[in-house]
Amino acid sequence: MSTPLAPPPPPVSMPSPLVVLEYSVHSHFLNQDQYGGHSGTDESFSYLCVEFGKQPTASPEFLFLGSDEDQTIVLCEKARDTEQVPDAFPVDTIRPQILECPDIDAPSVIAIVELGITSAIVPFNEPTATDASNSITVDSSCNSGDRYPVGTTTCTFTFTDSSGNRDQCVFTITVLTEDTTPPEIFQCPDEATAIAELGITSTVVLYDEPFATDNSNATNLLQTQTCQRGGSYPVGETSCLYLFVDPDGNSNSCIFLIIVTTGMFMSFICHY
């Protein structure tokens, strides 16, 4: 086996037709032995000999001469005879393999917020990918832990290897609203009282009626009412219930007593 070449001088001082290639690629390119004169120290790697700024073609224009010990600088020589050019020059056409891509056909990532909240911070496992080149760039439109609005957001992760092969993972983040807040009740009395004249068994009772509001902005919240303002109630205690329910089934109630007692009403005549 030949001794690896020392790093060459800068390209500007090298005689044509030598060129310097400053990167290496994995062994799905031609085996380095096909170029002759070099077996290398790592048989899992081979080198791509092309001019800077050009894409590999079916027949390479340059022949491999050698590399430095770190296999980071490659010397190639332009082929002078067509018989020197190998018959084929395989190019990496395999896309990166994506791991853990959520299913686009289902609500891939779901978060739930209270009705009235407009967004949520959504964590998720970001997709990853592997590639034979061990060199992948990732371009993503979403990030785990970012804030996403109520509704559906489409996320795209694009993985590109060093040969330009790419694959995408597309999924959705869905933020839903859920109403778990019951209606808020106002004017719920502790009790309502009245006095009936002795010998009278009932009397009219007035009180401020309870009412409620809700974050759903629904108006017809009162579902059950067992007492009526201005109604006639017997002497003693009457239990009253006002039950309020919103469109999502959240409920709240106001319960109080109407207490009617008896008493003697006295009238006075004043003489002047």
CA distances from 19 to 85, 215, 227 (A): 17, 72, 97
Q: Token pair for residue 186?
A: 């106002």
Buried b (16+ CB within 10 A) or exposed e, 3-19: eeeeebeeeeeeeeeeb
Nearest in space to 19 (alpha carbons), one of 62, 83, 76: 76
pLDDT on residue 174: 93
At the second CATH level, the architecture of 97-178 is: Sandwich (2.60)
Per-residue model confidence as pLDDT tens digits over 194-225: 999 998 999 999 999 999 999 999 989 999 99
**For 194, how many CA atoms within 13 A lie in the half-sphere containing its CB?**
24
State in words which class domain 184-263 has: mainly beta
Coil vs helix vs strand at 19: strand
In the chain, domain spans: 11-84, 97-178, 184-263
* Per-residue model confidence (pLDDT) at position 200: 92
pTM flag (> 0.75)? no
